[in-house]
Structure 1
Amino acid sequence: MNQLRPVRLIVIACVGMIVFASSPVCSQARAQTASQRQQFAKAIRNAATRVLPSVVSVEVIGVAQGGAGSNSSEVANDAPSCGLVVDPSGLILASDIILRRPSASLLVVLEDQTRLAATVVARDYHRGLVLLKTEADRSLPAIEVPSEVRTPVGGTVVAVGRYGTDQSPMVSSGILSARGRLEGTMLQTDARVSPTYYGGPLVDLYGNVIGIVVPAVAPGGAPDDTSWYDSGIAFAVPLPIVANKLPQLRDGNDIKKGLIGIVPRSNDPYEEDTQLAAVRSRSPAEKAGLQAGDVIESVAGQTVLMFQQVKEALGPYDAGDEIEIKYQRDGQSSTINVTLADSIPPLRPQRIGAWAVETDTALTEASEPTATKDISDDDRITEDAPGVQVVVAGVLPGSPSDGKLVEGDVIESVNDAAIESLATLRRKLVTAEPNVEIEIRVRRDDSEEIVNVMPTSVAGALPTTTFPAWKANNESESDDPWDVKELRLPDVPNLGAYAGPENDQSIDGLALLVLLLSPEQRDPQDALKDYRKAATENGVLVCAICSEDDQRWQPKEIDTISRMTTLMAQRIPVGAIGIAATGAIKGNKPSAADSMVIAMALSDRKNFDGIAVSDQTRPPAVRLRENEPDRSLQLLLPIENVDDGPTWLAPLSKAGYPVTLGGELQFDDLLRWTRLLQSI
């Protein structure tokens, strides 16, 4: 210790001398920095002041509370949003967040606190905007709507709003982070915006309006569009697009997103692959002549190499717009014009009752029975790997495939479209036309055969049979029930456990059921002890997860559940994943876990193939999206008839989610349903 003291004193003395010697320089630097901050703050104030006369508040009066699809967020309950005057006669653009729940009336509050009743002229559903009309007794200060935006990415931008009875200005600055976000429709900024900014302007340092702030999140990024507010990730509709659409809105015409109806072959939108796995029935793509197997080369003049680029190229276009599609078929390039639609008949997912797996052709030729690799239709698949083929591993008794397909058949094409991966086959069947026979070409015993199969709807009564029993490999023939093991993430407090085989066991046909426990259940290992035998007999891993809080499940836990599910699928390969709450099982009351299951599955579409909840579940505040062919999701309810279902079931069915009727569900029924999620 004595040896350290002199060194310590020297260091302090040196530091003291440096500070003393440099203090005039530091003072000058601090003064310069303070001056720069003052100038920057002044520029922000000037920019905001330039547009503030055109910024108004929008109050929603008499908002209905509760009910299916209700939103308990801050926005819906008590927070006014903003609007921007775009015409002196009283036309105001605002965020359509104000219309997402029924209300008695809308009021526009001007800068001088004058309140004016407002009516809806038209709505842009695609970008989340609404045009309002007020009957003002004077001309209102309107902003100029520019035809182009020149603010560079990285430039300073300012979000402007108003709040309170005195219409106090609100300002939040940041940078313009990116253009063309959310599939080519939005500007992105890191300015922190609360719900009161929605509908207000995003301006540059010169006071030029470059966008209108709206609530939005990336697909699957959160359960609700308002979830990212005040997070440093905010979005705004570019003003040039608004200028383009304003005449249509003025005329009272609603605007909707343009839909085309194509289904990608690849699971990864960033993979260099634009081949189509399927084309939606009665869609613009089908009407224009696109077919499964076509490779998209360009969209509206933009060359595309991956499906994400296809989405971004299509993103800015609305229903009714005509775009040019260049595609390749059989080595020949062609061009067609497609008129986008505002809707496509919802999915009516079909299946033929077969269980298929991907196999390595080299191992298959060697006739190794353990060569099959059970893989499901999500990010766990490496599609179209060299030497991969799709093989029938089992047929469901009494299904359309019974007596037509046999174990070992190699599926080569469906309706002349080549099948090169399990994902392609699944998407082809999910989008099959109801009551229309499909032609399947298979290779069986070194010869080709054509099999005609009539698909059946996924919706309906839960089948009473399942696929042939799964089998462990030759190294593990034990019939003992699986052990229960702990499942934890190092950075979250949620407890988890699972009943399953050892990680190094190679077992075909396994499925995974993620069971969210009610908040009062705090011991996942104890919750699984009665399910070990049934899980083992059915070949379904069961993973139980507790909530962080003993009173509720929270939206932030969506990421935790997703990560735990991914961890499970990495430890033990599975063919399908369902997520359920114990409220779905006979004798159990619904809990917050049932609502969380719905929020979880609709937010995290990449992990789950089906959800099972109580019919008494209170639906969460999740913005419903249409069921998608590349992420098709099934729903199991403990009811005998759809007419006996809850009111929130109707919009789910309308959006293309097939409903399986489970009756008085027992836990074994839940496990059988999970296995059947593998069915194509």
Structure 2
Amino acid sequence: VGTGPTTGVVVSEDGYIISSAFNFASKPASILVELPGRKRLAAKLIATDRSKMLTLLKIDAKNLIPIKPASQKSFQVGQWTIAVGRTFEENVPSMSVGILSAVDRIWGKAIQTDCKVSPVNYGGPLLDINGNAMGILVPLSARKQGATAGVEWYDSGIGFAVPMEDIYASLKRLKTGKDLHRGLMGLVRFQSRDALGGKPVLGVIRVESPAEIAGFKKGDLILKLGGKKVFRQADVRHVLGRKYAGDEIEMTVSRKGKQITKKMVLVDVIRPFEAGFLGILPMREGNTNSTSVGVRFVYPNSPAEKAGLKVKDRITTFNGTKIVDTTQLSQMVNKLSPEQKVTLVYRRGKSEKTIELKLGHISNEIPVDLRPVILPLSEDEEKKDAKAPVTNTPKTGRFTAKLPNGEHSYWVFVPDFYNPNYKYTMMVWIHPTNDTMEAAMIKKWKTLCRKKGIIIIAPRATKLSRWPSTDAGFVKEAVEEMKEKYSIDSKRIFLHGYASGGAFAYHLAFKYRDLFRGVCVVDSPITERLLENDSDLPLQFYILTNGKLAQPNRNQIIRMLMGLKRMKYPVIDESFNDRETAYPSDDAVGRMAVWADSLDKI
């Protein structure tokens, strides 16, 4: 962040000056402005445009000459441009001559020049050959926000300027003393991953955002935004790039062949999604025709406990909707936020009762007193007891499998007495580099797998020395193959990584959000960008850290935990003290198993 002299441009006769926000991000205690031929004057910072990274200053002066803007209609790619700055105390300003390389850059916020642009001339004007201001030079980035975003283009021949006409258009709002922020409508992502050419079909919409309040839904295809036709995702970003929080914008979408037009007011902050919490674990009832959800466990101090729900109660109606199964109830609760009031009907014995309660925050406690589900005997085991012939029994115990292409292998552990009528938890073990830890993992987990109904699948990295990113597809394929062969509860599939394997576990969790519901990692930070929490694809984290882990790694994990919690992910973080580089003790592994057994909490 700049701390020294910088350049500014007069934009009104009564002392308003516009400059780049780069040199004011550190909030200087005092600001002095030196006008040509005049003494220095104290300046006051009035407001900052945090979308286009401009700062408005005010000095006590009159009869100043505002800079004249060049008309954007006259801009032509290839025309001469002059980047000017007066950063140092010299009689002659610094200048760089170039051309206008492009218009409508940084999602419609800026024009581009190949002049040398750097802190030497940030805040100065980009002029045409007639001396009119085409724009104000600022560092900008298409991917990042902030005063220093785009500084990496320093003197590279890629420089940006915010059009002067746009600055004058927003000047009145800046003069009120309130910062301007980019306008957000609450769209987390589109359905297509092609950010530039993909169709603008709405994917995830943030709860209680302008888009949701206006009534837009997942699957809507945007046809018009702000009066302009849009065909690609990039078109949407270009329209929104020019908008500020507080602006009203109209959007037309196509939904099931019908066009729907709604208006919404953009906001500056979209609250991170946080799912509401009822406070129960549902019963696991296999392939039954039940039309309600039984209560297996009630979390202490949860909304459910405070409302009087007890084990074996059956929830029949939620917010006026008849409950068919656990998946339906879970999705309904997950769409709501903490503190929202809900009404549910439950049955206890032959009596039925209606209650109203406020949803809470997802518990960050492991229910250590949770009793394991009593796993029913399979038909094959019953036949064994009756000494009848057994046929088509899926493999159990420890065995090795390969994908159909024969190139990738993985080992599996399936508990004895496997019953296809029960939905099992699946743990996907991501081993550390240079050691699959197969024998140690089976020793640690075998008994817990039998007690709690956990199936382990352990892919082997193509290169044992590291997990190549290309192995992600193979892991996904192996998990899906196991889901086809065995009875797996999709709400209880989790990744478990240790040390260097943890980073790849995080990568898989964010890459295949529709496949995994939990991540349990020991002694490893996330090494890539965190994605936002998603109401449609909930993800829970259990992070364990060895108290003897080296300080730099511990600091990385602490920062990661802060990021996950800031994004409102359900996170349980615990530490254990063991010899350095050791996998956790049996007690800690037992807590992992209980956490995995409670991934389907509602």
TM bucket, shorter chain: 0.5 to 0.7
1:86 aligns with 2:11: yes
Percent identical: 27
- What aligned pairs does 1:377-396 form with structure 2 within 5 A after superposition? none
SS in 1 for 2:52: coil
Contact between 1:159 and 1:201, CA under 8 Å: does it hold in 2?
A: yes
**Distance (whole Å) between structure 2 residues aligned to residue 97 and residue 611 of structure 1:** 39
The alpha carbon displacement at 1:237 in A equals 1.6
1:281 aligns with 2:207: yes
**Distance (whole Å) between structure 2 residues aligned to residue 291 and residue 635 of structure 1:** 28
Q: 1:100 is aligned with what amino acid? A: A
Provide closer, same or farther for how the CA distance between residues 120 and 206 of structure 1 changes in structure 2, counting only shifts above 3 A.
Answer: same
**Distance (whole Å) between structure 1 residues aligned to residue 92 and residue 472 of structure 2:** 52
Q: 1:460 is aligned with what amino acid? A: N
1:661 aligns with 2:586: no
Q: Decide which of 206, 214, 224 is 2:138's aligned counterpart.
A: 214
Give CA-to-partner distance per residue, 1:522-550, whole Å, 9 cap, x none: xx65xx687995499765679999xxxxx
**Distance (whole Å) between structure 2 residues aligned to residue 220 and residue 276 of structure 1:** 22
Contact between 1:510 and 1:573, CA under 8 Å: does it hold in 2?
A: no
Contact between 1:274 and 1:307, CA under 8 Å: does it hold in 2?
A: yes
Greater Cα offset, 243-252 or 670-679? 670-679
- What aligned pairs does 1:307-346 form with structure 2 within 5 A after superposition? 307-346=233-272
Provide closer, same or farther for how the CA distance between residues 435 and 320 of structure 1 changes in structure 2, counting only shifts above 3 A.
Answer: closer
**Distance (whole Å) between structure 2 residues aligned to residue 307 and residue 131 of structure 1:** 32
- What aligned pairs does 1:612-651 form with structure 2 within 5 A after superposition? none
Provide closer, same or farther for how the CA distance between residues 569 and 121 of structure 1 changes in structure 2, counting only shifts above 3 A.
Answer: same
1:460 aligns with 2:364: yes
The alpha carbon displacement at 1:132 in A equals 0.5
1:348 aligns with 2:274: yes
- What aligned pairs does 1:215-614 form with structure 2 within 5 A after superposition? 215-219=139-143, 225-230=149-154, 231-268=156-193, 269-270=195-196, 272-349=198-275, 432-434=336-338, 460-461=364-365, 503=408, 525=434, 533-534=440-441, 539=457, 566-570=469-473, 572-573=475-476
Provide closer, same or farther for how the CA distance between residues 427 and 214 of structure 1 changes in structure 2, counting only shifts above 3 A.
Answer: farther
**Distance (whole Å) between structure 2 residues aligned to residue 319 and residue 531 of structure 1:** 54
Match in the other structure for 2:553: none
Provide closer, same or farther for how the CA distance between residues 565 and 192 of structure 1 changes in structure 2, counting only shifts above 3 A.
Answer: farther
**Distance (whole Å) between structure 2 residues aligned to residue 158 and residue 351 of structure 1:** 59
**Distance (whole Å) between structure 1 residues aligned to residue 34 and residue 181 of structure 2:** 28
Q: 1:341 is aligned with what amino acid? A: V
Provide closer, same or farther for how the CA distance between residues 320 and 222 of structure 1 changes in structure 2, counting only shifts above 3 A.
Answer: closer
Greater Cα offset, 122-131 or 568-577? 568-577
**Distance (whole Å) between structure 2 residues aligned to residue 108 and residue 340 of structure 1:** 35
Q: 1:311 is aligned with what amino acid? A: R
**Distance (whole Å) between structure 2 residues aligned to residue 232 and residue 427 of structure 1:** 51
Provide closer, same or farther for how the CA distance between residues 327 and 118 of structure 1 changes in structure 2, counting only shifts above 3 A.
Answer: same
Give CA-to-partner distance per residue, 1:238-276, whole Å, 9 cap, x none: 222112101221233332222212344514134543333
Q: Decide which of 20, 29, 39 is 1:104's aligned counterpart.
A: 29
Q: 2:159 is aligned with what amino acid? A: A
Contact between 2:399 and 2:411, CA under 8 Å: does it hold in 1?
A: no
1:144 aligns with 2:49: no
Match in the other structure for 1:486: none
Q: 1:119 is aligned with what amino acid? A: K
Match in the other structure for 1:135: 60
**Distance (whole Å) between structure 2 residues aligned to residue 205 and residue 677 of structure 1:** 69
1:121 aligns with 2:46: yes
**Distance (whole Å) between structure 2 residues aligned to residue 320 and residue 194 of structure 1:** 32
Q: 2:364 is aligned with what amino acid? A: G
**Distance (whole Å) between structure 1 residues aligned to residue 47 and residue 197 of structure 2:** 39
**Distance (whole Å) between structure 2 residues aligned to residue 572 and residue 584 of structure 1:** 13
**Distance (whole Å) between structure 1 residues aligned to residue 119 and residue 165 of structure 2:** 23
Give CA-to-partner distance per residue, 1:42-77, whole Å, 9 cap, x none: xxxxxxxxxxxxxxxxxxxxxxxxxxxxxxxxx24x
Greater Cα offset, 152-161 or 533-542? 533-542
Contact between 1:458 and 1:660, CA under 8 Å: does it hold in 2?
A: no
The alpha carbon displacement at 1:478 in A equals 6.2
**Distance (whole Å) between structure 2 residues aligned to residue 109 and residue 612 of structure 1:** 58
**Distance (whole Å) between structure 2 residues aligned to residue 125 and residue 318 of structure 1:** 10
**Distance (whole Å) between structure 1 residues aligned to residue 42 and residue 529 of structure 2:** 28
The alpha carbon displacement at 1:202 in A equals 2.2
Contact between 1:510 and 1:541, CA under 8 Å: does it hold in 2?
A: no
Give CA-to-partner distance per residue, 1:449-485, whole Å, 9 cap, x none: xxxxx998667346889x99xxxxx999966899xxx
SS in 2 for 1:241: helix
Provide closer, same or farther for how the CA distance between residues 295 and 437 of structure 1 changes in structure 2, counting only shifts above 3 A.
Answer: farther
Q: Give unmatched runs, 5+ long, in structure 1.
A: 1-74, 354-396, 405-414, 417-425, 440-453, 469-473, 483-500, 516-523, 546-560, 586-592
The alpha carbon displacement at 1:133 in A equals 0.8
Match in the other structure for 2:106: 182
**Distance (whole Å) between structure 2 residues aligned to residue 351 and residue 141 of structure 1:** 60
Match in the other structure for 2:293: none
**Distance (whole Å) between structure 1 residues aligned to residue 191 and residue 332 of structure 2:** 13
Match in the other structure for 2:551: none
SS in 1 for 2:106: helix
**Distance (whole Å) between structure 1 residues aligned to residue 31 and residue 397 of structure 2:** 69
SS in 2 for 1:195: coil
Structure with the higher fraction of residues in helix conformation: 1
TM-score scaled by length of structure 1:
0.52
SS in 1 for 2:43: strand
**Distance (whole Å) between structure 2 residues aligned to residue 577 and residue 110 of structure 1:** 64
CA RMSD of aligned residues (A): 6.1
Higher RCO by CA contacts (8 Å cutoff, separation 6 or greater)? 1
**Distance (whole Å) between structure 2 residues aligned to residue 306 and residue 534 of structure 1:** 48
Q: 2:408 is aligned with what amino acid? A: N
**Distance (whole Å) between structure 2 residues aligned to residue 675 and residue 662 of structure 1:** 14
**Distance (whole Å) between structure 1 residues aligned to residue 494 and residue 145 of structure 2:** 20
**Distance (whole Å) between structure 2 residues aligned to residue 344 and residue 569 of structure 1:** 31
SS in 2 for 1:274: coil
Provide closer, same or farther for how the CA distance between residues 232 and 531 of structure 1 changes in structure 2, counting only shifts above 3 A.
Answer: farther
TM-score scaled by length of structure 2:
0.57
SS in 2 for 1:244: helix
Provide closer, same or farther for how the CA distance between residues 166 and 614 of structure 1 changes in structure 2, counting only shifts above 3 A.
Answer: farther
**Distance (whole Å) between structure 1 residues aligned to residue 100 and residue 473 of structure 2:** 38
The alpha carbon displacement at 1:348 in A equals 1.3
Give CA-to-partner distance per residue, 1:497-535, whole Å, 9 cap, x none: xxxx963669997868698xxxxxxxx65xx68799549
Q: How many correspondences in the alignment?
A: 464
- What aligned pairs does 1:22-37 form with structure 2 within 5 A after superposition? none
SS in 2 for 1:343: coil
SS in 2 for 1:228: helix
